[in-house]
Chain A
Amino acid sequence: MPKDKFFKVIANKQHPNEELVPTHCSYCGMQCGMNLRVDKSTNKIIGVEPRYDWPVTLGKMCPKGVTAYQQTNHDDRLLRPLIRDDASLKGTKEGFREASWDEAYELIVSKFQELQGRYGKDSLSVFSGVSMTNEKCYLTGKFARVALQTRYIDYNGRFCMSSAAAGFLRSFGVDRGSTLPWTDLHETDCLFIAGSNTAECHPTSMFRVWEVQNRGGYLIVADPRETPIARRADIHLDLRPGTDLALANCMVNLLIQNGYADEQFVAAHTNGFEEMKEIVKEFTPEYTSEITGVAPEKLIRAAEIYGKAPNAVVMFARGIEQQHKGADNVSAYTNMCLVTGKIGRPKAGVATFTGQGNGQGGREHGQKSDLLPGYRKLTNPKHVEEVCKVWGITPEEMPQPGVSAYEMFELMDQKTIRGLYLLCSNPAVSAPNQNFVREALRNLDFMVCADIYLSESAEFADVVLPSVTWSEDEGTVTNLEGRIIKINKAQEPIGESKPDWQIEVELAERLGRGRYFSHLKTAKDVADEFRLASKGGYADYYGATWDKIEKQNGVFWPCRSEEDPGTPHMFLDHQFYHADGKAKLCALPYRPPAEEPCEQYPLRLTTGRVVYHYLSGNQTRRIPFLRDMCPEPYVEIHPETAALYNIQHEEVVRLYTRRGEAWYKVKIIEAIRKDTVFVPYHFGHEQSINLLTIPALDPMSRMPEFKVCAAQLEKQPERMNAR
């Protein structure tokens, strides 16, 4: 692997009587390298040391990363299984008693068998997550389809990466989140970043982002808020939430109009140019300005810079993806690289900032309702046959595709789904339209939750199983570059907690499906079966052995054989993954957000992260430093808007939409559009902004439109001191 200009050889500080275990952070897709400090006399994790020799992040960590080690031996860890006998207490922390694993397993097996006996195999569901290793993600798909034999499995990537996946599949025929390694980023000449609060969500990318400007390159940021990255951008396209498709179409239109299209590349390597050109020509700077609220001059200048740049990278994140046209936004921004031919070479391409630690790998290997390992499709008989061979079942035994994450809650509400096995996710905070989702969870006949802490979602469970943190198990994760990396075990599981793969194997055995699972005795056993199951798929991990990962500082997929070093740069031969080898330029007519402001709800509500918290906050809200820095949510409002409502800084307001309401302290700042309010989404119970968000789903990716809905607020002087 090449070392870049930032790389320095630095010896680690050796603390007496301690061992350093090299691994990666538990949180976002950056997967920053870190060394966990382990006390040799207690064998416990006690701290962190930078991992200076990790080529992507060079020892750098955000405040979540620095304090991540505090999760492992935290007082809130679940140490034994919990059972709650009184179902009327669901939705609270009350009524749980400690139980043995045997008792918990017996109860789960008897309830699952009872439900499936009475209502059919598909009455059970699995809701999973991608903040865990590829091995666990792989096995969870197999667990649902082979052990539980249900069609209903989906995962929290539907709230995170599914639009990027759908958009890339349509444009390229393959979904690798970044077409180039992160170590290229600072060498490009223009970064065009849309809908990514990079500084807060992927902070360790920032030294590379700033370096582009230090070299005299350009930074263009599209965001309704002047985020810490937008603050220093050469051009800040301050668009209305939910209008990205118009902005992207305008960029492509201007690139074509002004002669920046690479006609040779377009002719040789793409399809669909004429249809696309027909659609985008309507998006003049003036018309686009009406839709997006961005000044025409800024649109013209942004397209000019991107067009002129010898090399450029288009990047985006949940801001454009968490919309009911998220997949269209992804393909539309991807059109920028395809039409200019700025892809398929070093220092140029397109990338999404993967949100979850294993958002990339976790979506490739069969946790998605319609996918099997190696990015194979359940609807493709050949793909099904290939996986059946590895699993030892017949194609007839393979369940049909299920439904997406949010749609599973609808099926729970309709009593089609009656039982739930939830792991590695906290939908009672993270799903949209919380009032509906929490009711669906409450009304389940039986629910199991495996987690490291008693999450808000675990409060709805009948049985809670203690799983392990990332630091108490080993396996691989695929970071936001598409680089497969190794997570190492730094201490033994605390209490009676177990890794999710082991829980699934033991449950499968008790469900009478042991012959498909009992051979998996270690994480390595799961890894070997998983590599084989991915072999021949688009996301081929067969050659990514743990040895090679260690030797090469990671392996980029596809990696098809033991001799194959992997694929850091995609499409260097300009061969895309559609059958004819060409990429697709997509013609995408504009659609407004599902809910536009009106007299009753005149504001645009958008949601996002703060640097101190990760996803639903189940982990980070328990870490003292992070909690102190951001103890509660707030609503961010422009001072002129606040003046219209006669609201002061730090006053409490009631914020409400057609779906719900919540009370927040006001944070006044000029760095947001006047027509938009922002609330961070990491908080639970009555503080959750997802009580208000809209479950309008993207027709392709089934991603809910978290990023925009219509809202209203009112002064609530009587609540001032209530909190």
Chain B
Amino acid sequence: MKQHLYIEMDNCIGCRSCLAACTQCGGHDERNRNYVYEVNPLVTRQTIPLMCLHCVNPACARSCPAQAIQITEEGAVLSALVEKCIGCQNCTIACPYGIPKFDEEQNLMYKCDLCYDRTKEGIPPMCASVCPTNTLQWVTEEELAAKKAQHKLGKWTASHQPFEPLEGETNVKISLPGILQGKQKLF
């Protein structure tokens, strides 16, 4: 069963549990690989997570001269292979979202691998497992379809829809802030 990481940005409270949990994934060397941004810190407490979106045709991998960035059959875009990465940092420049991080000492790129050692077994990634607000969710195709209907995702999400806010098709789906706009109230 294909499952997706789905991000509902409006829910984010800035707790950075996703970053703490990222360090707990088996293959992550206790380093977190994602970001939480303050949207306008002098004005509001709104924050948004920025995780790797696992592009279907990822700019990081396309830009890699050493073919060090592998894509799994499930669509997870992995960290650079230690034996292939030449430390050129093309990927950090190519990624439109600034995801890949670079370890100067090891001369090696590292990034979110969608907790591949978990997700390949159908276990949610650590960030989506712990997220206290359901900003990050691990959802089935059916659940994603329900979200689409509910939030009119064509307008708000990244996935080859009209009004597409992001470049290219991604395996991770997002809803930008504003999911409650036009919400039919119970009373």
Contacts and interface: CB of A to CB of B under 8 A. Distances in A.
Interface of A: 10-13, 15, 47-48, 50, 52, 59-63, 65-67, 189, 199-200, 203-207, 210-211, 213-218, 226-229, 231-232, 308-310, 611-612, 625, 629, 639, 649, 668-671
Given A63-B17, A207-B132, A218-B185, 15 more contacts: A13-B117, A67-B20, A199-B133, A207-B134, A214-B150, A214-B183, A216-B184, A216-B186, A228-B46, A232-B10, A308-B187, A625-B23, A668-B42, A669-B41, A670-B42
Contacts of B150: 214
Given A12-B123, A308-B187, A611-B14, A207 B24 contact: no
26 contacts: A11-B121, A11-B122, A11-B123, A13-B26, A47-B24, A59-B129, A61-B17, A62-B17, A62-B130, A62-B132, A63-B15, A63-B17, A66-B24, A200-B13, A203-B13, A207-B134, A210-B133, A228-B45, A231-B44, A310-B187, A611-B15, A611-B16, A669-B41, A669-B42, A669-B45, A670-B43
Interface of B: 10-11, 13-17, 19-21, 23-24, 26, 41-47, 117-118, 121-124, 126, 129-134, 150, 179-180, 183-187
Contacts of A309: 187
B185 A611 contact: no
Contact of A203 (B17, B123, B180, B186): B17
Contact of A60 (B46, B131, B187): B131
A310 B185 CA distance: 13
Closest 3 CB pairs of A and B: A199-B13, A203-B132, A228-B13
A62 B15 CA distance: 7
A229 B129 contact: no
A326 B19 CA distance: 37
B183 A629 contact: no
A218 B42 CA distance: 27
Contacts of B23: 625
A171 B60 CA distance: 62
B186 to A, nearest CB: 4
A47 B118 CA distance: 15
Contacts of B11: 206-207, 210
A649 B42 CA distance: 9
Contacts of A308: 187
Contact of B43 (A207, A228, A671): A671
Contacts of A60: 129-132
Contacts of B180: 213-214, 232
A203 B19 contact: no
Most buried by B among A48, A63, A625: A63
A205 B24 CA distance: 22
Given A206-B11, A216-B183, A232-B180, A639 B129 contact: no
Contact of A217 (B44, B179, B186): B186
Given A61-B21, A62-B132, A199 B183 contact: no
Given A10-B124, A50-B130, A199-B15, A63 B186 contact: no
B44 to A, nearest CB: 6
A681 B14 CA distance: 19
A206 B10 CA distance: 12
A205 B150 CA distance: 22
B133 A207 contact: yes
B11 to A, nearest CB: 5
Contacts of A629: 16
A228 B21 CA distance: 21
A670 B38 CA distance: 14
B45 A671 contact: yes
A10 B43 contact: no
Contacts of A204: 132
A63 B44 CA distance: 21
A228 B39 CA distance: 12
B13 A229 contact: yes
B61 to A, nearest CB: 26
A200 B17 CA distance: 11
Nearest to A669: B42
A211 B11 CA distance: 10
Contacts of A671: 43-45
Contacts of A214: 150, 179-180, 183
A189 to B, nearest CB: 6
Nearest to A206: B133
Nearest to B25: A13
Given A66-B17, A228-B13, A625-B20, A206 B132 contact: yes
A609 to B, nearest CB: 12
Contacts of A216: 183-186
B45 A215 contact: no
Contacts of B14: 228, 611
B21 A66 contact: yes
Contact of B129 (A52, A200, A231, A232): A52
Nearest to B183: A216
A580 to B, nearest CB: 35
A554 to B, nearest CB: 20
A13 B17 contact: no
A50 B183 contact: no
Contacts of A229: 13
